[in-house]
Homo-oligomer: A and B are copies of this chain.
Amino acid sequence: MGPGRLHALIDGVFAIALTLLVLDLPKPAHSAQLVRDLLRAWPSYVAYLVSFITIGILWIEHHGMMSAVRGINRRFLERTLAFLLFISIIPWPTALAADYANQSVSEARATAVLYAATMLMMGLTFAWGWRYPAFPAGARRALLGGLVYLIAIAVAFLSPTASFAIDAIVAVYFAASRSRVPGLIVRPAPADDSG
């Protein structure tokens, strides 16, 4: 089979993971101080934003990988499913991180480790997928993007906040950096992008 239908499953999982994040935004019930309660839940918005950006950038990067793939065998499908497992699970550590950010340090640390470990596994399975089209630059970028979460895990034992800051920096860095992997600029836009 060609890559066509695999795209449909991948795009579906990405779209749902992006959208399910909204279910964990704070909805205080019967609050008499709604503004204050919503403001106090600020870690939820940060966590939402970081996870949304991370999933979004991964969609773009994964897209690049798929356009480097010419044929698909069962082994590649299984690597893709392993990658999708960690994409689809992201709303879970995101929600826990938001819920426990304002609580004791030991609980916040647990969520920081869980969040970074999910991202680490996601990066490793992504790099594993990149090995399939035998495109070393892509595998390297994915592997580095994953291994940086090892630092976030280590830092979580010193400061959960600093650990989450690393997660956010990784998301922003990958959003801002221009990768050289294929598929990201296939044809020029019709007009000058003056935006």
- B-binding residues in A (CB < 8 A): 1-5, 7-9, 11-23, 25, 27, 29-32, 34-35, 38, 48-49, 52-53, 56, 59-60, 63, 66-67, 69-79, 81, 84-85, 88-89, 91-92, 95-96, 99-100, 103-104, 106-107, 110-111, 114, 128, 131-134, 175, 178, 183-195
Name A184's closest neighbour in chain B (CB-CB). Answer: B74
Q: Which 4 A-B pairs have the closest CB atoms?
A: A4-B195, A12-B15, A131-B195, A70-B190
Chain B hits for A31, CB < 8 A = 107
Chain B hits for A52, CB < 8 A = 81, 85, 88
Chain B hits for A9, CB < 8 A = 11, 14-15, 59
CB A188 to nearest CB in B, in angstroms, measures 4
A194 and B104: CB pair below 8 A? no
Interface SS majority for chain A: helix
List 15 interface pairs A-B (beta carbons < 8 Å), by A numbering.
A2-B195, A3-B193, A4-B194, A5-B11, A12-B12, A20-B22, A22-B91, A35-B106, A38-B110, A56-B84, A59-B81, A69-B190, A73-B186, A76-B193, A134-B191
Q: Complex: how many Å from CA A188 to CA B104?
A: 54
Copies of chain A in the complex: 4
Chain B hits for A59, CB < 8 A = 9, 81
B2 and A110: CB pair below 8 A? no
Name A107's closest neighbour in chain B (CB-CB). Answer: B34
Q: Complex: how many Å from CA A4 to CA B16?
A: 18
Known: A34-B100, A104-B32. A22 touches B187 (CB 8 A): no
